[in-house]
Structure 1
Amino acid sequence: MKTFRTHPIGIDQGETVLFSEFSNGGDMWTGNGTRERRAAVTFSQPFRTTPVVQVGISLWDVDTTTALRAEVKAEDISAEGFSAVFRTWSDTRIARIRMSWTAIGEVAHEDDWDIS
């Protein structure tokens, strides 16, 4: 569990298109085996500490003649941003993916002291 002190809590959210490979024949659409796509996401303003990030698929365009296999994750999370990651494997064919995300964490306050 992530706990917060008395600092203000900020919530940032957005969407990012990870790929669209149907029209150009990219390997997410034509390939086999393990495949991955990443996108760097930058928060609208930095958090005070590393936030909690939740990701999900907000759009997927897939071929339904094969099994749908997917993993979505937030990796490399920092106070400034994270990597949105999509993975698939085997013969799954994905034309495009858009991921949504929400970050929740402490934000700076004008009364914060910086003693360094």
Structure 2
Amino acid sequence: MRKLQNHLIGIRQGSETLFSHFENDGEMWAGRGPREVRRRVTFDASFKTPPAVMTALAMFDIDAATNARADLTNANIDASGFDLIVRTWGDTRIARIRADWTAIGEIRGEDEWDVD
């Protein structure tokens, strides 16, 4: 369990279109085998510490003639942002994916200063 040390909690939310590969025969649409797309998300204001980040598929457009396989996750979470990652494999053809995300964590109070 993660315990927050601050009474000031911030929630940031967003939606990211990770790719639209059917338009230009991109790797997720035209490729085969293991494939991955990463997109860095930067918060509009930093958290005090790295937040908890939740991600979910908001929209996916997958070729009906192949198996539907998609793995959505996140990595490299820090106080200023994180990486959204989508993976597929085999014969799956993904035209486009949009992911929604929510970050919850401690934020700095107006009277908190960084002193070096």
Report TM bin, short chain: over 0.9
| RMSD (Å) for aligned C-alpha atoms | 1.1
TM-score (norm 1): 0.94
- After superposition, give the CA deviation of every residue in 1:52-110 in whole Å (9 maximum; x if it has no partner): 00111111111122111111111100000001000000000100011110000000001
Identity among equivalent pairs (%): 49
In structure 1, C-alpha distance between the alignment counterparts of 2:32 and 2:45, rounded to whole Å:
39
The aligned amino acid for 1:18 is L
1:97 — aligned with what? 97
Q: Secondary structure at the match of 1:76?
A: strand
**Alpha carbons 1:13, 1:100 under 8 Å: kept:** yes
Structure 1: state its 5+ residue gaps. Answer: none
1:6 — aligned with what? 6
TM-score (norm 2): 0.94
Q: Secondary structure at the match of 1:109?
A: coil
**Alpha carbons 2:55, 2:101 under 8 Å: kept:** yes
Aligned structure 1 segments of 4 or more residues deviating by more than 6 angstroms: none
Structure 2: state its 5+ residue gaps. Answer: none
Q: Secondary structure at the match of 2:77?
A: coil
